[in-house]
Copies of this chain bind each other. A is one copy, B any other.
């Protein structure tokens, strides 16, 4: 059902500084950038082979990432798994007792379709399901 760890999301206070650090220290390249106003976040996807690190800066304090940083400090925010059929995967995990944040899949970054699962029923782990963009990989 799950094909791969698609990416790990990391909450950072300053996106440009974080991108520069991941480039210089870890030799990762930023392969996509996007600001999602509806989610209150600006992101950069850093390539690590077929996986990615998603660096995330809040667009304001009263946003999910803004509140995360205020409460816990910067750090690992979520883990995302790649699935081939997100509607089916979401139904499966809900039927297995996982509480969904997104009851139906919604558009994510870079043309993907995503659904977040609530950490309350997953041992404190904010978990995302990601289906690739049509024609993507």
Contact = CB atoms under 8 A, between A and B. Distances in A.
Interface of A: 1-5, 7-8, 10, 12-13, 18, 21, 24-28, 48-53, 72-76, 78-79, 81-82, 92-93, 96-98, 119, 123-125
Given A2-B28, A96-B25, A10 B125 contact: yes
Main SS at interface, chain A? mixed
B26 A93 contact: yes
A124 B75 contact: yes
A124 to B, nearest CB: 3
A50 B2 contact: no
A93 B8 contact: no
Contacts of A51: 4-5, 51
Contacts of A74: 123-125
B8 A49 contact: no
A93 B4 CA distance: 26
Closest 5 CB pairs of A and B: A75-B124, A5-B51, A4-B49, A25-B96, A1-B27
Nearest to A96: B25
A124 B82 CA distance: 25
A130 to B, nearest CB: 12
